[in-house]
Amino acid sequence: MECPNCAMLIESIENKRSGITRVEASYRKSQVSVEFDDEVVSEEIIKNKITDLGYRVLSHVKG
């Protein structure tokens, strides 16, 4: 992510897929936090949505 528009683009996946309840992207930190219902959508689908936008995803799951 290089700018605020990049972060907004990634955050837009929240409105495009049921089961995603919150997306917070920080272009300054190059980080994205996603809250989701794993009974509705998988982590893999979310990763694919982000990579489809042209970004690389490195996972770090916080419990």
Under a CB-based contact definition with an 8 Å cutoff, are residues 20 and 53 in contact? no
**Residue 62, pLDDT score:** 66
CA 12 to chain centre: 9
pTM to 2 decimals? Answer: 0.84
List domains and CATH numbers for the chain: 4-52 (3.30.70.100)
pLDDT digits (tens, 9 = 90+) for 1-26: 789 999 999 999 999 889 999 999 99
Written as six digits, the tokens of 49 are 């949505």
Residue 55: exposure state from Cβ atoms within 10 A (0-12, 13-18, ≥19): middle
Give pLDDT tens digits for 27-47.
999 999 999 999 999 999 999
